[in-house]
Amino acid sequence: MDENTGWAQIRVECNARDVDTVSSVMSMVDNGLMIEDNSDIDDLIKHGMYGELIDESLLEADRTKAAVSVFIPAVKSPAESELFIRGRLNDLGVSYTLTVSGIREEDWADSWKQYYKPIRTGKRLVIVPVWETYDPEPGEVTVLMDPGMAFGTGTHETTRLCAGFVEEYTTPGCSVLDVGCGSGILAIAAARLGAGECFACDIDPVAVRVAKENAALNDTPNVTCAVSDLLKQAPKREGGYDLVVANIVADIILRLSPDVGAYMAENGTLVVSGIIAERAEEVLSQLRKDGFKTVGEHFENGWYAAALKKA
């Protein structure tokens, strides 16, 4: 990390048409974005604005490309932010190139581990990085995590909010479906809390591999992990799943909403997270249209998560 600032720059280059989508995802990490978008230069020149003041290099720039950067302090775990951004852009099908500067490449993989400590996410659940030693208090349930190259350590608000609901709605022997599982943290947490059959899926094969490794690490053979584009490859279960969790982004939850009810038990619970507060009502409006009612909700640092039942 830069010795003088302790910051890392995460820069995503994308097609100009996707700059708003990329900006929305990266604003989930931090609102202080730097956007490089040359697509409107021709319009500025056409209307006689700044024509003589625009640098020649900008005039020659590729108008079809744009870039968005976010600057992450070391104490906020830049690597976790990178994994979050990659995961959400992959979910959305955005073509991009991500680069990181301000930190030596050989230090990047492990630099964030010093900031990742055991985290309590609810009344009993504690997420413990595999390289840490933790002695649980009576009644605590621990989940060991080695996130590798998949999002989900418990440090991000979206994961903590979702894990809190998982603890609240997991009952002995219940069935669980985790859509967009990342590191597998939520399905594994449910299994550790006493759930029965758990199916975790993600569109990213690397995330699925990591989730399988974490399931083995926690001795939870009842957690099955597989590659799936949302629900396309998820097995339907007779009677439906008792608990469905989706810690993804607002746009993907909107896509999921019309279909997820068919996978749920009649009294099942749907937990959604990964939603910035400004889009909470938009997501809830769609879920209501698709037959759900809110039974619990939490806000934290601009993030929103909700638990819902069939209306």
- Check whether residue 103 and residue 135 sit in a common domain: no
- The structure's pTM equals 0.69
Report the CATH number at residue 30.
3.30.70.120
Kindly write down the DSSP assignment for every residue of the chain, as one continuous string: --TTT-EEEEEEEEEGGGHHHHHHHHHTT-S-EEEEE-TTHHHHHHTTSSTTTS-HHHHTS-TTEEEEEEEEEGGG-HHHHHHHHHHHHHHHT--EEEEEESS-HHHHHHHGGGG---EE-SSSEEEEETTS---PPTT-EEEEE--TTSS--S-SHHHHHHHHHHHHH--TT--EEEES-TTSHHHHHHHHTT---EEEEES-HHHHHHHHHHHHHTT-TTEEEEE-STTTTPPP-TT-EEEEEEES-HHHHHHHHHHHGGGEEEEEEEEEEEEEGGGHHHHHHHHHHTTEEEEEEEEETTEEEEEEEE-
How much of the chain exceeds pLDDT 70, in percent? Answer: 80
Q: Which domain holds residue 257?
A: 116-310
pLDDT in tens, 275-301: 888 889 999 999 999 999 999 999 887
In a domain, residue 132? The reply is: yes
In a domain, residue 1? The reply is: no
Q: How far apart are CA 32 and CA 51, in angstroms?
A: 28
Is the pLDDT reported for residue 84 higher than 90?
no
Q: Of the candidates 123, 154, 158, which has an alpha carbon nearest to the alpha carbon of residue 304?
A: 158
- Check whether residue 42 and residue 179 sit in a common domain: no
- Check whether residue 71 and residue 214 sit in a common domain: no
Radius of gyration of the chain from its Cα atoms, rounded to whole angstroms: 21
- Check whether residue 158 and residue 282 sit in a common domain: yes
Give how many domains the chain has, as a whole number.
2
pLDDT in tens, 124-141: 989 888 888 888 889 999
Q: Domain boundary residue among 59, 82, 111?
A: 111
Kindly write down the DSSP assignment for every residue of 13-82, as one continuous string: EEEGGGHHHHHHHHHTT-S-EEEEE-TTHHHHHHTTSSTTTS-HHHHTS-TTEEEEEEEEEGGG-HHHHH
- Check whether residue 94 and residue 133 sit in a common domain: no
Of residues 202 and 71, more confidently modeled: 202
Q: Domain boundary residue among 63, 94, 111?
A: 111
- Check whether residue 179 and residue 257 sit in a common domain: yes
**What pLDDT does 20 receive?**
86
- Check whether residue 265 and residue 139 sit in a common domain: yes
**What pLDDT does 39 receive?**
62
In a domain, residue 299? The reply is: yes
**What pLDDT does 213 receive?**
92
- Check whether residue 281 and residue 228 sit in a common domain: yes
- Check whether residue 131 and residue 19 sit in a common domain: no
Count of CB atoms situated within 10 Å of the CB of 21: 20
- Check whether residue 63 and residue 90 sit in a common domain: yes
pLDDT band at 6; cut points 50, 70, 90: low
Residue type at 51?
G
Report the CATH number at residue 197.
3.40.50.150
pLDDT in tens, 213-257: 999 999 999 999 999 988 988 988 999 999 999 998 888 899 999
Is the pLDDT reported for residue 5 higher than 60?
no
Mean predicted confidence (pLDDT) in 81-100: 87
**What pLDDT does 25 receive?**
87
In a domain, residue 156? The reply is: yes
In a domain, residue 2? The reply is: no
Q: Domain boundary residue among 85, 111, 137?
A: 111
